Chain A
């Protein structure tokens, strides 16, 4: 019985990742921000030139290594008319470093919200932190993947994937590369519970 439950949990977490051109999912799900407000992706993307969604956390070495660069790109994107949000989908009951107090301490200068059921991550097919998704004005996915090509050393970066993608989006050019890969920590998914207003995406 335990094995069956474990298999079901693993299957529930193994959602297919969004494909380029897919619409922004879970846009009506309310997520609590570090300032106490309840925000939705619908609100964050309304009347914006695009929307940048970053799944991240406080505890993963890769998320920490990229944090300053994500903040810099996010702040710049916000100034240039994009909706920007960082989402923490980790189970903070099991991983205390990802609770709201720690998120507030992280000092992210744009919305940093809790995915209370992890269903938002599931609906994106996000598997790790950080995992980046950039949507166009029409809320269709134009870029997903890595921040850049060197998590370890900001001075050693040769390819600024996300920065380039944001610039290309704002210039109305096709985003190239539209998809990149990076290593990250697995999202510590909460047990799947169908909460009100959330519907885990089916394969």
Chain B
């Protein structure tokens, strides 16, 4: 009897844990500009990507970010994915994250565009997608205001990592 209960519980947990496009359990939290600025410091390289569910080039480049994150995780590289979707689109954002099997923490922008952009990345025009690379001090090293590919992503990350190694 106990074994039957355990087996049933096990199968139920499998069903519950299986991501589907309707799942709303993806790791997503709202982030204000000051909170995001704090997150840009500390890692050898922080890659900040702004995206949205309605932005086709954003969705095209998305899997490449996930691959690069996996490859560079051991080197301490941090990936911050910030959705610029309307807050009313939170459900669609979560569904997209689940669909792409994103299990790490990602963010949904909180606050007005102007204040957010001026505080986080003042030279950003607001175009999506945009990716910015920061060093350990949280200093902007490079910004790409267009779709980016895996090769370029890796090259920018390696450039910052190399710069760090060169320092005495």
Q: Do A and B come from one complex?
A: yes
In the bound complex, CA of A152 to CA of B110 (Å): 12
State which of B2-10, B21-29, B82-90, B153-161 sits at the interface with chain A.
Answer: B82-90
Distance between A21 CB and nearest chain B CB, rounded to angstroms: 19
In the bound complex, CA of A182 to CA of B114 (Å): 6
Does the CB pair A182–B54 fall under 8 Å? no
A164 interface residue per 8 A CB criterion: no
In the bound complex, CA of A152 to CA of B50 (Å): 17
A-B interface contact total, Cβ < 8 Å = 68
In the bound complex, CA of A10 to CA of B124 (Å): 16
State which of A37-45, A112-120, A142-150, A191-199 sits at the interface with chain B.
Answer: A142-150
Who on chain B is nearest to A158 by CB?
B112
Known: A10-B146, A65-B86, A152-B88. A183 touches B128 (CB 8 A): yes
Distance between A174 CB and nearest chain B CB, rounded to angstroms: 19
Chain A residues, CB < 8 A from B163: none
Who on chain B is nearest to A145 by CB?
B114
A23 interface residue per 8 A CB criterion: no
Chain B residues, CB < 8 A from A97: none
Q: Interface size of B by Cβ–Cβ distance < 8 Å?
A: 23
- Choice from A158, A161, A181 contacting B126 with Cβ under 8 Å: A181
Of residues 147 to 184 in A, which have CB atoms within 8 Å of B's CB atoms? 149-152, 158-159, 161, 180-184
A185 interface residue per 8 A CB criterion: yes
Q: What are the interface flags for B99-130 relative to A under an 8 Å C-beta threshold, 1 for contact and 0 otherwise? A: 00000000000001111011000001111110
A17 interface residue per 8 A CB criterion: yes
In the bound complex, CA of A146 to CA of B113 (Å): 9
Chain A residues, CB < 8 A from B52: 61, 183
Does the CB pair B113–A127 fall under 8 Å? no
Does the CB pair B114–A152 fall under 8 Å? no
Who on chain A is nearest to B146 by CB?
A10
Does the CB pair B146–A182 fall under 8 Å? no
In the bound complex, CA of A125 to CA of B146 (Å): 14
In the bound complex, CA of A182 to CA of B124 (Å): 9
B32 interface residue per 8 A CB criterion: no
Does the CB pair B114–A184 fall under 8 Å? no
- Choice from A10, A128, A145, A159 contacting B127 with Cβ under 8 Å: A128
Chain B residues, CB < 8 A from A128: 125-128
In the bound complex, CA of A185 to CA of B117 (Å): 15
Known: A65-B86, A151-B86. A182 touches B128 (CB 8 A): no
Distance between B52 CB and nearest chain A CB, rounded to angstroms: 8
Distance between A120 CB and nearest chain B CB, rounded to angstroms: 17
In the bound complex, CA of A183 to CA of B87 (Å): 14
A186 interface residue per 8 A CB criterion: yes
Does the CB pair B54–A61 fall under 8 Å? yes
In the bound complex, CA of A127 to CA of B166 (Å): 36
Distance between A53 CB and nearest chain B CB, rounded to angstroms: 16
Known: A65-B86, A183-B84, A186-B146. A149 touches B125 (CB 8 A): no
Q: What are the interface flags for B43-84 relative to A under an 8 Å C-beta threshold, 1 for contact and 0 otherwise? A: 000000010101101000000000000000000000000001
Known: A127-B145, A151-B86, A152-B87. A186 touches B114 (CB 8 A): no
Nearest first, the 7 closest Cβ-Cβ pairs linking A and B are A181-B117, A149-B112, A152-B86, A182-B113, A128-B127, A127-B127, A183-B126
Q: Give me 5 A-to-B residue pairs in the complex whose CB atoms sit less than 8 angstroms apart, sorted by A's number.
A: A10-B146, A181-B126, A182-B126, A185-B54, A185-B128
